[in-house]
Amino acid sequence: MQINRKLMLLLMMFTAAIIADDKGDKNPVFRMYGGDLNRNMTASATNAPVSWDPETGENILWTAQLGSQTYTNALPYDGKIFIATNNEAERNPKLKGDRGVIMAFDQQTGKFLWQSTHEKLPSGMVNDWPLQGICSTPFVEGKRLWYVSNRCEIVCVD
Whether residue 87 is found in the same domain as residue 152: yes
> CATH number of the domain that 117 lies in?
2.40.10
Q: Are residues 28 and 82 in the same domain?
A: no
User: pLDDT digits over 133-154, tens only?
Assistant: 999 999 998 899 999 999 999 9
CA distance 105 to 66: 11
Domain residues for 125?
75-157
Do the domain assignments include residue 87?
Answer: yes
β-sheet with 154-157: strand ranges across: 139-141, 144-148, 154-157
Say if residues 148 and 94 touch (Cβ distance below 8 Å). no
What distance in Å separates the CA atoms of residue 101 and residue 84, rounded to the nearest whole number?
Answer: 6
Please check whether residues 144 and 81 belong to one and the same domain.
yes
Alpha carbons 40 and 83: distance in angstroms, whole number: 21
Q: Is residue 82 part of a domain?
A: yes
Q: What is the pLDDT of residues 15-41, one digit of tens each?
A: 555 555 455 555 555 556 666 667 777
Q: How many structural domains are present in the chain?
A: 2
Main-chain phi, psi angles of 95, to 5 degrees:
-110, 75
pTM (2 d.p.):
0.73
